[in-house]
């Protein structure tokens, strides 16, 4: 399905900085991330990256976040956005800026 540039422009994608990461009890694949996306308060994301990424290694890293998705509840935890990752054969690969940028920088 193709979309036009007007549809694409509706996405609010920003660079976020991971502030903290916690395991979700009973979840084999999910981690809870608190991410600064330049808003007044950090947002909480739930991501299926536990099998390929260690929580302590993610803190301080910049990621790309879709900020205007409807919130979802996964394993009882509210997710307020989605991080972007590529589906590689050995698991998700996070999409990240190739150099540090200001937190909250919009992706165009």
Give me the domains of the chain, ranges plus CATH numbers.
Answer: 5-94 (2.40.50.140)
Query: Global pTM?
Result: 0.94
Per DSSP (E only), the strands in 1-108 are: 13-23, 31-36, 43-47, 62-66, 72-74, 77-79, 82-83, 85-88, 91-94
pLDDT digits (tens, 9 = 90+) for 85-97: 999 998 899 999 9
Q: Is the pLDDT of residue 38 over 90?
A: yes
């Amino acid at each position: 399905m193709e979309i036009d540039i007007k549809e694409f422009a509706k996405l609010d994608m920003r660079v976020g900085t991971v502030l903290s990461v916690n395991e979700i009890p009973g979840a084999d694949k999910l981690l809870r991330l608190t991410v600064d996306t330049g808003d007044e308060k950090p947002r909480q994301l739930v991501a299926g990256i536990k099998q390929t990424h260690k929580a302590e290694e993610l803190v301080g890293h910049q990621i790309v976040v879709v900020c205007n998705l409807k919130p979802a509840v996964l394993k009882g935890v509210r997710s307020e956005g989605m991080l972007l990752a590529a589906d590689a054969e050995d698991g998700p690969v996070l999409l990240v800026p190739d150099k540090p940028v200001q937190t909250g920088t919009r992706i165009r």
